[in-house]
């Protein structure tokens, strides 16, 4: 009686089989041929070429990692920040709505974004203060009127780059524990986030002041 496939695979791979099967295979050309065939199938599978991904998924991966680590920060400061920013946002919108031909571009250093960031005393660059500032800028940006019309490619790219850099900072902050970041490193990241958010709001604010920018 011939060895079955499982026994032949065991023989092929050097695994033990019963003595009677071993004896049979030694003298059976058919079983021997079958083992050789099993070897060829294995070799053929191993020889299959690697397949490269059809598209570059890296950007999707980076975004996906952000999507799945939805920020859970800002809890304690949210209410205060939203309230403060709401007032500023309303003031900003009122000003924009009232702006006529007589109102020229506002210097960036006096924009709401600069005001929010500058509201933190120089001596108070603590993490909570930076988080509060960051949150205020987020809310302020959300309160800005939507941009209309066409903007210059360079401006669009600047905005996109700032958004990307903020996203990367967020990725690090959201994985701070996993990454083993120290408090000092986290504080640096928060400061970077505030600076980036400030730049972003300033660019978008300037764009509203001068749509052709």
Partner 1 sequence: MPGFSDCNVEPAILARARRGDMKAHEILYRVYATPVYTLALRMLQNPSQADDILQETSIEVIRKLNTLREERTFPGWIKRIAVNKCLGHLRSAWNRRSSRSDAGIDGDGSSSYEGSDLGRDAAGAEQQLDAAQALNFLSPTARAVVWLFEVEGYTHQEIGQLMGRTASFSKSQLSRAHQKLRAVLGSMEGDESCTQTLSSY
Residues that bind partner 1 (CB under 8 A): 4-6, 9, 11, 22, 25-29, 32-33, 35-38, 40-42, 44-55, 57-58, 60-62, 64-65, 68-69, 168, 171-172, 175, 178-181
Nearer to partner 1, 56 or 97 (CB): 56
Q: Name the minimum Å distance from CB 88 to partner 1.
A: 32
Q: How far is the CB of 72 from partner 1 (least distance, A)?
A: 15
Under DSSP, the state recorded for 147 is P
CA distances from 104 to 99, 107, 207, 209 (A): 9, 9, 12, 8
- Closer of 43 and 102 to partner 1 (Cβ): 43
Q: Judged by CB, which is closer to partner 1: 50, or 101?
A: 50
DSSP 78-104: HHHHHHHHHHHHHHHHHHHHH--TT--
Residue 211 contacts residue 148 (beta carbons within 8 Å)? yes
The smaller minimum CB distance to partner 1, of residues 114 and 168, is found at 168
Minimum distance from CB of 183 to partner 1 (Å)? 15
Pick the closer one to partner 1 by CB: 32 or 125. Answer: 32
By beta-carbon proximity to partner 1, the closer residue of 37 and 213 is 37
Q: Distance of CA 201 to CAs 4, 108, 138, 143, 159, Å?
A: 73, 10, 9, 10, 9
Our CA dihedral for 202, 204, 206, 210, rounded to 10 degrees, sits at 180
Across the chain, the runs of DSSP E, i.e. the strands, are none
Minimum distance of partner 1 from residue 56's CB (angstroms): 9
Q: What is the DSSP string of 175-208?
A: THHHHT--HHHHHHHHHHHHHHHHHHHHHHHHHH
Q: Closest distance between partner 1 and the C-beta of residue 18, in Å? A: 13
**Nearest distance from residue 184's CB to partner 1, in Å?**
14
Structure tokens at 175: 């994985």
Q: Is 91 left (phi over 0), alpha (psi -120 to 50) or beta?
A: alpha
């Amino acid at each position: 009686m011939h060895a079955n496939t499982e026994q032949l695979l065991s023989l092929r791979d050097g695994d033990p089989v019963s003595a009677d099967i071993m004896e049979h295979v030694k003298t059976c050309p058919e079983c021997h041929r079958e083992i050789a065939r099993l070897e060829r199938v294995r070799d053929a599978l191993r020889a299959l070429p690697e397949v490269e991904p059809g598209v570059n998924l890296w950007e999707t991966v980076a975004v996906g990692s952000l999507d799945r680590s939805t920020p859970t920060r800002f809890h304690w400061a949210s209410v205060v920040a939203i309230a403060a920013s709401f007032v500023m946002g309303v003031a900003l919108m009122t000003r924009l709505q009232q702006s006529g031909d007589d109102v020229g571009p506002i210097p960036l250093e006096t924009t709401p974004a600069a005001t929010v960031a500058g509201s933190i005393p120089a001596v108070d660059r603590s993490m909570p203060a930076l988080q509060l500032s960051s949150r205020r800028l987020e809310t302020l940006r959300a309160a800005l009127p939507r941009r209309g019309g066409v903007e210059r490619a360079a401006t669009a790219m600047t905005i996109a780059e700032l958004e990307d850099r903020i996203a990367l900072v967020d990725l690090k902050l959201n994985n701070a524990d996993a990454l083993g970041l120290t408090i000092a490193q986290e504080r640096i990241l928060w400061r970077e986030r505030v600076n980036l958010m400030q730049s972003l709001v300033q660019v978008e604010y300037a764009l509203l002041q001068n749509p052709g920018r």
